[in-house]
Chain A
């Protein structure tokens, strides 16, 4: 029993660490975008909006885990781990296409000076990857994993 409690405490500490770490990273990223993209234009608002959506997803998953923990249930189990793995695999596949699209078309589409264009593409790429991962994760956590052999 004591061992189970110790494991739970350790896991809770690890979860809290990752929650805090992602909150710090998101805040710093928001600050970096806000301060370096002055004066704010449409694309800067899009980036900051994407950041807000990411924070929303993180908060949602955090609250779900906390609710389970409060009911005395496991916040993570084999299904949640498989969903994360499946989401990561799918997100990687989509991200490759997204980067190709960004590098081929986006640079020519956005009419702003060169340094900012590169910065915007990188920012869009990073946030896009995170968003794709979180949306896929969210979708799979609602739809479930029907068949292990499914791609």
Chain B
């Protein structure tokens, strides 16, 4: 799964720590998400999308359906 977290973070001027604080996760989790090394739960994906005020499918992109 690919994500647009890094791009959206830059857009909103947020650091990894800021985003982690808003979502309620560790900074390492944001790092793994940005690198596409972790598929988050639906709840976490929802929480992250809500921070960026976007839909889940606009933040997380599945490689194959």
CA distance A76 to B37 in the complex (A): 18
> Which of chain A's residues 51-93 have a Cβ closer than 8 Å to chain B?
68, 71-80
User: With A146-B37, A148-B39 in contact, do A77 and B27 touch (Cβ < 8 Å)?
Assistant: no
A147 to B, closest residue via Cβ? B39
Contact with A along B16-37 (1 / 0, CB 8 A): 0100110011111100100101
Instruction: State A144–B24 Cα separation when bound (angstroms).
Output: 18
Tally of A interface residues using CB under 8 Å:
18
Question: Contact between B29 and A79 (Cβ–Cβ < 8 Å)?
Answer: yes
Query: Quick check: is B13 within 8 A (CB to CB) of the other chain?
Result: no
Mark each residue of chain A from 108 to 151: 1 if its CB lies under 8 Å from any CB of chain B, else 0: 00000000000000000000000000000000010111111000
A79 touches B25 (CB 8 A): yes
Contact of B25 among A74, A141, A147 (CB under 8 A): A74
Is B37's CB under 8 angstroms from A73's CB? no
Interface centre among A72, A77, A148 (most CB of B within 10 A): A77
| A71, B17: Cβ atoms closer than 8 Å | yes
Least distance between A142 CB and chain B CB atoms (Å): 9
In the assembled complex, the CB of B5 is this many whole angstroms from the nearest CB of chain A, namely 14
Who on chain B is nearest to A146 by CB? B37
Chain B residues with Cβ below 8 Å from A78 are 25, 29, 40-41, 43-44
